[in-house]
Chains A and B, each alone.
Chain A
Amino acid sequence: MAAGAPLITFDKVWKSYGQGEARVHALAGVDLAIKRGEFVAIMGPSGSGKSTAMNIIGCLDTPTAGTYSFMGIDAGRLDRNRRAMLRNLYVGFVFQGYNLLARTTAAENVELPLIYRGVASRERRNLAMQALAQVGLVGREHHTPAELSGGQQQRVAIARAIVTRPTLLVADEPTGNLDTARTHEIMELLTQLNTELGLTIAMVTHEVDVAGYAERTIRFLDGHVASDIMKVELA
């Protein structure tokens, strides 16, 4: 992949559900490109197609028509297991509801993606500790999610997402369950990961404040990209 080439490209991507009269187009021929190192906020009302777009970006879903390429790979044509491999190698996920495994310690949660990579147990523990340190959770590695606050749980989730040193971080309303102070902390952390590690971040949010942390905001409406604005242009 040439330097400066986009990490993510949507080429006339369609995603449709149902048949005949009842056919609904969640995405209707979307063109989009995200470069390496970008921090992109994706906004839009529910039903606008933003979640569908995020699922395709995260290689969880495939387009009905058009091409989705990720790192120059035609990811939209890969089978389940290949996409799983792609996710494991290059994509980290952060969800609104944290999605940690219950009754499993923070360290074990963070180690999870490494298990599917076949990393040895000791090495896994080291990497998990490093990731937990990066998100500021030293000393909490043996706590289970139930023993951690919402903000801390989201930090564990972020540690789990970055422990594999991914190229892309997909965040789905990462602050949706948090109060303002916690939201600020988490967004600071994401910004820091973006600038310090050069991690590309695609984040869905419906809060303008949260979107403000990103350098670029893409708004979806009715399956189309309604606006695509760089922060510098706003300033």
Chain B
Amino acid sequence: MIWETVRLSLRSIRRNVLRSFLTLLGIVIGVAAVIAMLTIGSGTTEKVKADISKLGSNLLVVRSGRPAGPGGPGGLDQVVRPLAEKDLEALVAHLSGARAISPASQKQVRVIFGTESLTSGVTGTDSAYLEARDWKLVSGRPFSDSETRSGTGVCLIGETVRQQFFGDGDPEGEIIRVNRTSCKIIGLLEAKGYTGFGQDQDNVVLMPLHAYQRRIAGNRDIDNIYIAADDRTPTSELQPRVEDILRDARRITPDRESDFAIRDMTQIADAMASATTTMTGMLGAVAGVSLLVGGIGIMNIMLVSVTERTREIGIRLAIGAHEKHILIQFLVEATVLSLLGGIIGILIGLALAGLASLTLTIPFAPSPAVILLAVGFSALIGMVFGFFPAMRGARLNPIDALRHE
């Protein structure tokens, strides 16, 4: 009987292909949006986690300025003191449990080669930077200690910079202009791709810190100090040691707050991941609203269908159909319709998410739970929004229904 009804409803859906399709569209778009959003969202979360661990695993980042917290930035009495070379030296000399300690100062600068130009993130650093950030060279060599010390005009470039200036060609030995200073390329960095926030991590130029300070920044400041913990030391243990050494080096008396902040990238990774998860949930909810609209579309078309088929209902009632038969017939029809829409929507949603994962280079992370939920939810929508029209059909008086033109 129920199978019979499903067949019947499939036939009535086929009879009105265009109308059924238009009705489905609401559900298709709704489900596709939800599936695409949630799949892309969970891919992004994975990507963010991976990105942040790519910044370097077990990484602490020190920057100047008071740690963010209640009360906001420090008062007037506390002028922000930048990090300096002696802070770095103190860390290198006294910190145990660190695998690599490296300074980095950054600025967006116009880089020129021949007639081409590109605004790139230029970082002044030393040879430990690559290790601290878990970054490898595809070709060439890192800065030597003497180059770092003397601030020689040499640099390492990211893949984006290479593509812009040299295509697939070998950039080694070429001279590029960074700001107003020239710089010889000695190595090519491994491609890292985009971050989850669409930032190109390969549009970079690395040069010795002293060269950067002298020729680009025009000061002796260090923006960040990267500290990579070794395998035996958790960052949570390393962090207070770093704080002690720096407070000492910067001569901060115990009654005063630190004028620098230490960020634990593992914590940030977790925070970011939970932020993207929240974002995903919100996007999913917004997409869910379109599902609701799709459901109303189904109700609308089922009402039309019941009115259109009043005579048919009359015939069925006259020859012995019970109320429940009519109710089930239209309920099944609405459910089959929205289920069909749900399945098409899932396929489209997954295709969209797949496409997005290709273009945004995030992992394709379809969730079986989400898909099952979408199937169940679209069936539910059909039932809920189909119920009122179906009930209306079932309650018809057969005499009136037969007289209906």
Contacts and interface: CB of A to CB of B under 8 A. Distances in A.
Interface of A: 55, 58, 60-61, 80-81, 84-85, 87-89, 92-93, 95, 99-101, 103, 112-113, 115-118, 121, 160, 164
Interface stretch (B28-36, B113-121, B159-167, B317-325): B317-325
Given A60-B398, A60-B399, A85 B318 contact: no
Contacts of A81: 322-324
A93 B319 contact: yes
B318 A116 contact: no
Interface stretch (B266-274, B308-316, B362-370): B308-316
B319 A87 contact: yes
B143 to A, nearest CB: 80
B344 to A, nearest CB: 24
A167 to B, nearest CB: 14
A99 B15 contact: no
Contact of A115 (B4, B317, B323, B398): B4
B320 A116 contact: yes
Nearest to B317: A84
Nearest to A170: B318
A26 to B, nearest CB: 12
B402 interface: yes
Contacts of B79: none
Interface in B271-330: 311-312, 314-325
Contacts of B311: 99
B312 A101 contact: yes
A88 B319 contact: yes
Contacts of B4: 115, 121
Tell which of B311, B324, B398 has the most Cβ of chain A within 10 Å. Answer: B398
A117 B324 CA distance: 13
B1 interface: yes
A107 to B, nearest CB: 14
Nearest to A112: B319
A99 B321 contact: no
Contacts of B1: 115, 118
Contacts of B398: 60
A101 B15 contact: no
Given A80-B323, A87-B318, A116-B319, 6 more contacts: A61-B399, A85-B322, A88-B320, A103-B15, A121-B4, A164-B320
Nearest to A88: B320
A145 to B, nearest CB: 12
A60 B325 contact: no
A89 B15 contact: no
A115 B320 CA distance: 10
Given A99-B311, A99-B315, A116-B325, A89 B402 contact: no
B320 A84 contact: yes
Contact of A60 (B15, B318, B321, B324): B318
Contacts of B320: 84-85, 87-89, 113, 116-117, 164
Contact of A93 (B312, B318, B321, B325): B318
A95 B15 CA distance: 25
Contacts of B399: 55, 60-61
14 contacts: A84-B321, A85-B320, A85-B322, A87-B318, A92-B319, A93-B318, A99-B402, A101-B312, A101-B315, A113-B319, A115-B1, A116-B321, A116-B322, A116-B325
B312 to A, nearest CB: 6
Contacts of A115: 1, 4
A162 to B, nearest CB: 12
A89 B324 CA distance: 17
A112 B8 CA distance: 11
Given A61-B399, A103-B15, A160 B319 contact: yes
Contacts of B319: 87-88, 92-93, 112-113, 116, 160
